[in-house]
Structure 1
Amino acid sequence: MPDLGKYTTEVLSAYGISLLLMAGLVLISLRRGRKARAALKQIEQETARNGKD
C-alpha cells in the first residue's frame, strides 16, 4: 500500500464510504430488478388467462 502520509485517514475513509455506497446501489438495483421481473410475470400471467396476446 502506498504511503499516504498525513491524509491516510481521509483517503481510506473516502474509499470505504465509496465502497459502501456502491454496494448499496447494487443491492437497490437487484431488488428493483426482482420486483420488476415479478410484476412482468404477473402481467404476463393475467394476459394469458384473459386470452389476449
Structure 2
Amino acid sequence: MIPDLGKYAVAVLSSYAVTMGLIAVLIAVSLWRGARVRRQLAEIEARRNADV
C-alpha cells in the first residue's frame, strides 16, 4: 500500500526522514536532560539530608 508519489517522491520521503530524525533527537535530548535533572536533584537532597 505504498502511494505513488511521482516526481515528488524524493522530496516527500526525505522530509519524512528528516522529521523522524528530528523527533528521535528531541526524544534523546529530553531523556538525557531528564536524567541530568534527576541526578542533580538527588545530589541536592543528599546535601540537604546531610546538613540535618
* TM superposition score category, shorter chain reference: over 0.9
Could you tell me how far apart the structure 2 residues matched to 1:15 and 1:36 are? 31
Aligned residues: 51
Instruction: Please give the TM-score of this superposition, normalised by the length of structure 2.
Output: 0.96
Post-superposition Cα deviations, 1:5-53, rounded to whole Å, max 9, x if no partner, equal 11000000000000000000000000000000000000000000000xx
Q: Identity, % of aligned pairs?
A: 41
Q: Name the structure 2 match of 1:25.
A: 26
Matched residue type, 1:42? E
RMSD: 0.4
Q: Name the structure 2 match of 1:35.
A: 36
Give structure 1 regions of 4+ aligned residues with deviation exceeding 4 angstroms.
none
Could you tell me how far apart the structure 2 residues matched to 1:48 and 1:13 are? 52
Instruction: Please give the TM-score of this superposition, normalised by the length of structure 1.
Output: 0.94
Matched residue type, 2:27? V
Q: Name the structure 2 match of 1:9.
A: 10
Unaligned runs of 5+ in 1: none
